[in-house]
């Protein structure tokens, strides 16, 4: 028991020493930095913490889902002169057996740093981020779908919204092969 208490005390005493940085100069004049206390002349170095950056979290489904607006959104309401889905075109058929769709957005002026794009597919937000104003979504079910893009501010309020675009996803059906008629011998 005494041995474990003594080891704990030694451990607590060595922790602060291990956190320090020491500067020494060797016989050749080389400067050496180390975390081991020097046996000869050496001095402790005060190390300032590195710069760090904590990005703010942008909520994806907060007030935007309910259509609420913030005071900032009211000021930004006329900032964008164009928010439009350019691809696929309205009432266009998309033939892709894996269900992959690229949804391209034209926006003018360019998207502000405190705004982001949210894609709604059949009135439900899609968990995909736009890369160069293009959403790449996969495994879309066959059938008719309606896509809309919203510009959302940092508070989650809708700043601008595109007109809805209807497209038709065509995927090959996984049907069994059609049986060939068997010729009867005559």
pTM recorded for the entire structure: 0.53
Q: CA-CA-CA-CA torsion for 116, 118, 119, 124, nearest 10 degrees?
A: 180
Confidence of residue 33 (pLDDT cuts 50, 70, 90): confident
**In terms of domains, do 70 and 111 share one?**
yes
Let me know: does 141 contact 170? Beta carbons within 8 Å. no
Does 57 map to a domain?
Answer: no
Average pLDDT along the chain: 77
pLDDT at 177: 73
Please check whether residue 176 lies inside any domain of the structure. no
pLDDT tens digits, one per residue of 57-79 = 555 544 444 445 455 555 566 77
Which structural domain, as residue segments, surrounds residue 12?
2-45
Distance CA 172, CA 164 (A): 26
Ranked by mean pLDDT, the top range of 19-23, 48-52, 99-103, 174-178 is 99-103
SS3 107: strand
Mean pLDDT within 169-184: 77
Query: Judging by beta carbons within 10 Å of its beta carbon (0-12, 13-18, 19+), is residue 63 exposed, middle or buried?
Result: middle
pLDDT on residue 6? 57
**Residue 166 CB contacts under 8 Å (≥ 6 apart), including other chains:** 90, 91, 144, 145, 146
Residue at 107 is within a domain: yes
Regarding whether 90 and 30 lie in a shared domain, the answer is: no
pLDDT of 64 reads 42
For residue 18, pLDDT beyond 60: no
* First-residue to last-residue Cα distance in the chain: 102
In a domain, 159, yes or no: yes
Q: Is residue 181 included in any domain, yes or no?
A: no
- DSSP secondary structure letter of residue 120: E
| Neighbour order of strands in the sheet with 82-87 | 82-87, 101-108, 134-137
From residue 131, alpha-carbon distances to 50, 107, 117 in Å are: 31, 13, 10
Domain identity same for 70 and 161? yes
Q: Clarify whether residues 70 and 156 are in a common domain.
A: yes
Residue 178 domain flag: no
Beta strand pairing status for 21-25 and 43-45?
Answer: antiparallel
Identify the weakest region by mean pLDDT among 15-29, 57-71, 120-134, 171-185.
57-71
Beta strands per DSSP E along 90-185? 92-95, 101-108, 115-121, 124-125, 134-137, 143-153, 158-161, 165-170
97 lies in the same domain as 139: yes
Would you state the pLDDT for residue 65? 43
């Amino acid at each position: 028991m005494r041995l474990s208490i003594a080891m704990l005390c030694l451990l607590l005493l060595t922790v602060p020493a291990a956190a320090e940085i020491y500067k020494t100069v060797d016989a050749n004049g080389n400067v050496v930095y180390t975390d081991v206390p020097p046996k000869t002349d050496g001095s402790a170095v005060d190390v300032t913490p590195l710069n760090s950056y904590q990005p703010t979290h942008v909520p994806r489904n907060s007030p935007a889902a309910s259509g609420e607006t913030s005071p900032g959104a009211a000021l930004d309401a006329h900032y964008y002169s164009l928010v439009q889905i350019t691809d696929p075109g309205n009432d266009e058929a998309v033939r892709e057996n894996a269900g992959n769709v690229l949804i391209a957005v034209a926006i003018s002026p360019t998207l502000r740093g405190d705004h982001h794009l949210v894609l709604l597919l059949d009135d439900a937000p899609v968990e995909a981020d736009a890369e160069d104003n293009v959403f790449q979504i996969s495994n879309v079910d066959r059938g008719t779908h309606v896509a809309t893009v919203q510009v959302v501010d940092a508070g989650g309020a809708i700043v601008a919204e595109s007109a809805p675009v209807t497209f038709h996803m065509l995927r090959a059906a996984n049907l069994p092969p059609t049986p060939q008629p068997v010729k009867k011998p005559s």
